[in-house]
Structure 1
């Protein structure tokens, strides 16, 4: 028996400003730091020993994981970054205020961009795309896999690959794993673990800084 602990990063500075973040590297707000500390308390209450930890490449996810491990006295444990559990790429919506975007395009259209399983937001401007691909933070990503926009479906493909290659083997070895990631990459994991259909996943919400626990036993995954 082993456990997967999923934690959406604590509130970021852009969460506080109600902006689309996507693949923009924005750090935690003060509220987000406190949420990470509270997440550590909830994990501690479960009396689970964490054997390995992963985060996306972004500061808000990595620092959430780092704070959790520090609060649990596990400073020695390395957090391994993997771009495949990045937030979904929000294309040309990145940086925009969500309310302002709804006022321009209409609430229904923005809701479809945000929640629909297979709909992608407007693609990223070509010049920004070429600039972003060359940033050091993205050097680990194969150039041909760098997106200009992603749906949740696109996000799920890379999350599934991460799970198959990295996580599954460790679960078989009865290791408990902490994954600090993002709303949509965690929604993708939830869809995989709970076999949620494409329509129902639209309604799944993942709050910031609140651990979700899954037990792996005899090849099955169950929420606990």
Structure 2
């Protein structure tokens, strides 16, 4: 049986963000231990009331819980409670993700992929502003990770210079590269949409498991023809990639390098690309394959994750004004549409 509609934990209709059905965040916090047969009564703003088990007051719930709303009894698995009330956990680690600043091909609205294009003047300034925002908030780093593509590398170094962190190690990996767009690389997104239709281009850009048309290995755009990747086995180098392929490429690097650094207590910066970062965010936030398709990560804006001891997100936020952030996200979403 689900929540009553007035206290649905996914809505903001009862008790300030509504998942305060337990009374924990609503301004009338329940005492940690309450007598009267081990239960506490809480009255909702909707007028109903609950009888709550005292374990509700623990943010580190290990056992299932139950409560009554009116004459209806509800059971909650501990895992569900932790998911809804995860921000009660204590943050232990900090991770900062940043998509590179605008590149010259971002500006020209082209599919870039693994093509190694530089930052545009706007992108260079975005990286400077990102560093300024991080420094103003007091962020420091112990190690940085980036791709082998210059737009991410330069963004990384600009941020480190602006935060007085040039002394820390920077580790580059092809696994953090942008998604490979195959035969679309270099094409204008709007012109491609005008030719093939918005829906087809959206499928190529945003479907989780449908890649764009592949390259031939004889094509100079195939990374096997680039000396930068001579140490990477040819079979690992893509002819094209869907987002699923990109996630599967990125996650081994997360588990083998980034996550262990965080667990060692290091403050980590990752400067990468829209789709490689979508892969990390999908993993961290446990996003579904469908939900991640609507995720738009703007260029040059630090995304801060506060993680608990198990590397589960306690909270995350961008270092940018909400209105400006929304505009930048909408710009990313509109890139593949015909004009």
TM-score range normalised by the length of the shorter chain: over 0.9
How many residue pairs are counted as aligned between the two chains? 224
Alignment partner, residue 313 of structure 2: 221
Residues 1:52 and 2:143 are matched in the alignment: yes
Residues 1:158 and 2:265 are matched in the alignment: no
Task: State TM-score, norm by structure 1.
Answer: 0.96
More relative contact order in 1 or in 2 (CA 8 Å, sep 6+)? 1
Equivalent-residue separation in structure 1 for 2:208 and 2:222 (angstroms): 28
Residue pairs, 1:183-222, within 5 angstroms: 183-219=274-310, 220-222=312-314
Report the more deviating stretch, 42-51 or 52-61: 42-51
Gapped runs of 5+ residues in structure 1? Answer: none
Equivalent-residue separation in structure 2 for 1:35 and 1:122 (angstroms): 32
Q: Compared with structure 1, are the counterparts of its residues 85 and 131 closer, same or farther at alpha carbon in structure 2 (3 Å cutoff)?
A: closer
Equivalent-residue separation in structure 1 for 2:222 and 2:301 (angstroms): 34
Give the C-alpha shift of residue 131 in structure 1. Answer: 5.9
Equivalent-residue separation in structure 1 for 2:220 and 2:213 (angstroms): 13
- Residue deviations 1:170-216 (CA, integer Å, cap 9, x gap): 11111110000000000111100000101111110000000101112
Gapped runs of 5+ residues in structure 2? Answer: 1-91, 317-339
Give the C-alpha shift of residue 222 in structure 1. Answer: 3.4
Equivalent-residue separation in structure 2 for 1:131 and 1:108 (angstroms): 26
Alignment partner, residue 101 of structure 1: 192
Task: Report the structure number with the largest CA radius of gyration.
Answer: 2
The answer to whether the 8 A contact 2:142-2:169 is kept is no
The answer to whether the 8 A contact 1:194-1:222 is kept is no
Residue pairs, 1:1-224, within 5 angstroms: 1-128=92-219, 132-219=223-310, 220-224=312-316
Displaced runs of 4+ in structure 1, greater than 2 A? Answer: 129-132, 221-224
Report the more deviating stretch, 187-196 or 131-140: 131-140
Give the C-alpha shift of residue 130 in structure 1. Answer: 8.1
Give the C-alpha shift of residue 163 in structure 1. Answer: 0.5
Task: State TM-score, norm by structure 2.
Answer: 0.64
Report the more deviating stretch, 174-183 or 36-45: 36-45
The answer to whether the 8 A contact 1:193-1:222 is kept is no
